[in-house]
Amino acid sequence: MTTSPLLLLSEITKRIGSVLILDRVDLRLEKGEVLALVGNDSAGKTSLMKIVCGIHPPDEGEICFEGAPVRFASAQAARDRGIEMVFQDYALYGDLDVAHNLFLGRWPRRWGLFIDRARMYQEARVLLDRLGLTGIAADQTIASLSGGVRQSIAIARATSFDLKLVVFDEPMAHLSVHAIDRFFTTMQKLKAGHVSQIFVTRHVADAFRIADRIVVLRHGRVAGECPVSKTTEAEIVDMTIG
């Protein structure tokens, strides 16, 4: 008996003015799968993921999530269904501390009015410990942290929701070797928790390090897809450049 995929995109099309950004893209993501979305800068990877996460609507096509058609009106609507995106710039506020960034816009409150600071810092500590971030204090400002730690905070914020799918948009663009290793460890923990992941990258070698399957976008179209176990880096590079 076959089960329906967690996410199914059918003929997703997107234009900006007269420019065709995405051209009838099909994509399938299984529950608990790590999918690498590979392509050059103009491939349309981020545009496609912003549609999945409710940031932009598609012009044409259908999105099915958990077996039912959906059309997210906003990123919050997608988040309410368990979909979160971690951006390349992390979307954090440097002048706020870690705890405030983790619970931005949904701070725990007392009597529905006042921010419950004690509870917020306590819950922030739980989130940080869950990802092994024991050396980070919940009251540290984001501006005082390195790029790798900031990314870890963004991931911790994403996983604080009832997460079913997380999208990582070029997550290793500005990370050290140590931070990259920590990021892949975090992905493995998410996979162990049966969280589906889409990993957007230009770097084929990184896709082979973590992904179960690779989908290649080129000029807004799917140029190919294959399980990692049945392809090579050279074949994926050929798909990428055509």
What confidence tens digit (pLDDT) does each residue in 91-105 have? 788 888 998 888 876
Q: Which tens digit of pLDDT belongs to each residue from 194-222?
A: 999 999 998 899 999 999 999 999 999 99
pTM of the model: 0.84
**pLDDT at res. 90:** 63
Quick one: average pLDDT of 62-67? Answer: 96
Mean pLDDT of the chain: 88
Strands (E), the chain: 7-16, 19-29, 34-38, 60-65, 68-70, 83-86, 109-110, 114-115, 165-169, 196-201, 213-218, 221-227
**Residue with token string 């981020």:** 46
Inform me whether the pLDDT recorded for 47 exceeds 80: yes
If pLDDT is split at 50, 70 and 90, which confidence band does 223 have?
very high
Q: Which range (17-21, 189-193, 226-230) has the least confidence?
A: 189-193
Out of 15-19, 79-83, 152-156, 227-231, least confident range: 152-156
For residue 67, is pLDDT > 80? yes
Mean pLDDT of 23-49: 95
**What is the model's pLDDT at position 33?**
96
Q: Which two tokens stand for residue 169?
A: 């948009």
SS3 state at 30: coil
Distance of CA 32 to the CA centre of its chain: 14
